Amino acid sequence: MNWRSLIAVLSMVGMVTLMVTKVLPAVMAVLIAAVVMVLGGCVNRRQPYRAIGWQSVVLIAAMIPMSTALSITGGAELIAQKLVSTFGSVGPTALLAGAFVLTAGFSQVLSNTATTVLMAPIVLQAAVVSDISPYPMLMMVAVGASAAFLTPISSTTNLMVMTPGGYRFTDYAKVGFPLILLFLTVSLILVPIIWPL
């Protein structure tokens, strides 16, 4: 092991330790580790910039004002009322399922972060309109946004294995659809138990 490897390992261990102990926010811990690796010669100064997924940064940056605009203009309320009128009349469990399905649908074409930023104000408004707790609704958004299994474009990890694995677009749906149904079923059982409606 050379000295650069040692710096990289110690930086990673330090970063994880700072994150787990919550001495610093995760963003600060990651930035400190990155600076140490650059200053320690583990990576050159250009590599970190090339590694940044600027498309994701721009997408998330654009989704935050969109989410704010949805809240301010009443768009979130309009979508929430449609969500409640479609699913809420059946009952709160159906509303949870509707929140999951809508969120999981968006997560197939958007990143999970962008999907969460978009859906959070909508489900919060739906919870207010339905007079139920927002906590189970938001958890369904968190789980639904993580259920990006149907397409390779929604998740970097899905895209990374597509070419080496020789997978086609339809291969993701074959595995992804049953996984999404499993996520939905388990969430509909556990979420109302942990966070009562």
- Domain span holding position 149: 54-194
Examine the pLDDT at 170 and tell me if it is beyond 70.
yes
Domain count, the chain: 2
Let me know whether 125 and 175 are in one domain. Answer: yes
Percentage of the chain beyond pLDDT 90 is 24
CB atoms near residue 19 (< 10 Å): 17
Let me know whether 78 and 30 are in one domain. Answer: no
Let me know whether 18 and 59 are in one domain. Answer: no
Let me know whether 138 and 66 are in one domain. Answer: yes
Computed over every residue of the chain, the mean pLDDT equals 84
Let me know whether 132 and 152 are in one domain. Answer: yes
Let me know whether 118 and 31 are in one domain. Answer: no
**Taking the mean position of all CA atoms in its chain, how far away is CA 38?**
29
Q: Which amino acid is at 16?
A: V
Examine the pLDDT at 106 and tell me if it is beyond 80.
yes
Let me know whether 144 and 80 are in one domain. Answer: yes
Let me know whether 145 and 85 are in one domain. Answer: yes
Let me know whether 128 and 178 are in one domain. Answer: yes
Let me know whether 71 and 142 are in one domain. Answer: yes
